[in-house]
Amino acid sequence: MTSCQKNFLDVKDNSFLNRQTYVKDLSSMQDFMNGIYLMTAEGHESSSLLIYSELASDNLKPSSEYSSLMMQYNWQQTAGTTLQESVNSMNSDWKLLYRIIRACNFVIEDVDKYSAANSEKANNMKGQAYAIRALVHFRLVNVFAQTYVFSSDASHPGVPYITTSDITQPYTRQVVAEVYNELINDLKNAITLMPANVSDCRHMNVMAAKALLAKVYLYKADFANAKLLALEIVEKVPLLTISSGYPNDLFKNKTPNQTEVLFQATPLNGGFLGGLRGEYSEHFATKDIGDILQERGTDIRRMWVKDTLGTQLKVIKFPSGVAGGLVTYSPDYDYYSPILRVSEVYLIGAEAAAKTGDENTARTYLNAIRKRADPTVADVTASGQVLIDLIYKETRKEMCFEGSRMFDLQRWKLGIHRSDIFPGYQTDLPYSNEKGISPIPGPDVNLMGLKQNVGY
């Protein structure tokens, strides 16, 4: 479970095998866990899921009217009850994510059978499964349900939080408050089961689980707990500096003491981010995120977008060919996708501190992110809403194109305003709006009786 070799994921995708027949001991359970990581790379880090949050908000726009996510961009996706409608929906992503969850549930249910052989290894696998189950449910609740603060007690519809591998068991939508309680419980369980030492950030681990828990608390507006966890993490894991490889090394696989990445997905021959790189990219950066990135000529992040022929901004945040040739058909897709990293934890800490009145801590962590990327920038001395707005801006800047922009706007209760749009498409989506989230897939509504989201 702690292998550092490149080929640790070079296994057959055992998630499709009859689990009870295949898994007979800890060794075969480990192979099954590797199958879960393959599914996570394909499902949780798939092109539409990562691009969706950036495209449905204001960081990306389609390169042509033939973009595969045009309906999501224009807030006109469907619930997908027919094949054609399914193309204009997030149904396949819903299905992929719940497949990962069912596989995690099998590990949680069965791994204790083999713990006598090596209890530490069994506990580690169980902890990883709990944390990945939480990670995937967290993505689902952000895509398919209104944000936690949408209602005063988060009693609005969430998503099914499935805790069994048995596909014959019925399921229903839980309210968002219940989903968050499950998320927190799973992550706390994971933290107690996984070892303190982190040896490979391609595996879910205790520091990544704590970072995810801090993020869950932030989205829940539990700023005290978010701040507490963030401060614990940043004391143990430093930011990656320019001299040690920032930003390109964020997308390489390095040992934990050489990177700020806490958990990353290994690239597969399918590509990340729908080819934001490459000659045939379906999406460009918007002018407004480009202006933010390039407002200072001394900020190293200005290179994350590139003007092509003076007409469009190409995303080049993700370096080409840095994963050692794991993707054989194109170096543009050959990079590791960071799922959780310390820069985000600094921003979580800054926001949570500002919203609990600890402005000195908020400025300290905000300045750390700003000055790491641009050593010549002046320290932030602002307070109040101005400070919070600067944290929001820096969050958009540092985390751009990594799949969280729409969710941030939702939890900040901010609408979407696009100053750079694909011609003829919508410019504004105020908060709150029923089209700010995706519809529940039609098959689950029709067959399982799940309540559909308002407006669909």
Task: List, for residues 54-73, the tens digit of each pLDDT value.
Answer: 999 999 999 888 888 999 99
Which percentage of the chain shows pLDDT scores above 70?
93
CA quadruple 343, 209, 54, 315: dihedral, nearest 10: 50
Query: Which residue is associated with the tokens 């969280």?
Result: 404
Report yes or no on 69 lying in a domain: yes
CATH number, domain of 438, equals 1.25.40.390
- What is the pLDDT, as a whole number, of residue 45? 79
Task: List, for residues 85-95, the tens digit of each pLDDT value.
Answer: 777 889 999 99
Q: Record the tokens describing residue 417, joined without a space.
A: 């305003």
Report yes or no on 454 lying in a domain: no
**Helix residue spans in 237-285 (DSSP H):** none
Report yes or no on 455 lying in a domain: no
Report yes or no on 175 lying in a domain: yes
- What is the pLDDT, as a whole number, of residue 16? 46
Cα separation, 112 vs 403, in Å, equals 35
The answer to whether 410 and 431 have CB atoms below 8 angstroms apart is yes
Report yes or no on 453 lying in a domain: no
Q: Is the pLDDT of residue 11 over 50?
A: no
Report yes or no on 254 lying in a domain: yes
**DSSP notation for 138-196:** HHHHHHHS--GGGSTT--SB-------S-TTS---PPBHHHHHHHHHHHHHHHHHHS-S
Average pLDDT, the chain: 92
pLDDT average, residue stretch 45-49: 77
pLDDT average, residue stretch 83-111: 90
> Residue 401, SS3?
coil
Rounded CA Rg of the chain = 21
Cα separation, 399 vs 50, in Å, equals 12
Report yes or no on 199 lying in a domain: yes
Q: Report residue 277's pLDDT band, with 50, 70 and 90 as the boundaries.
A: low
Q: Is the pLDDT of residue 203 over 80?
A: yes
Q: Is the pLDDT of residue 276 over 80?
A: no
Between 13 and 106, the more confident residue is 106
Report yes or no on 1 lying in a domain: no
* Overall number of domains in the chain: 1
Task: List, for residues 368-405, the tens digit of each pLDDT value.
Answer: 999 999 999 999 999 999 999 999 999 999 999 999 99
Query: What is the extent of the structural domain holding 370?
Result: 6-448
Task: List, for residues 282-325, the tens digit of each pLDDT value.
Answer: 899 999 999 999 999 999 999 999 987 677 899 999 999 999 99
The answer to whether 329 and 217 have CB atoms below 8 angstroms apart is no
- What is the pLDDT, as a whole number, of residue 198? 94
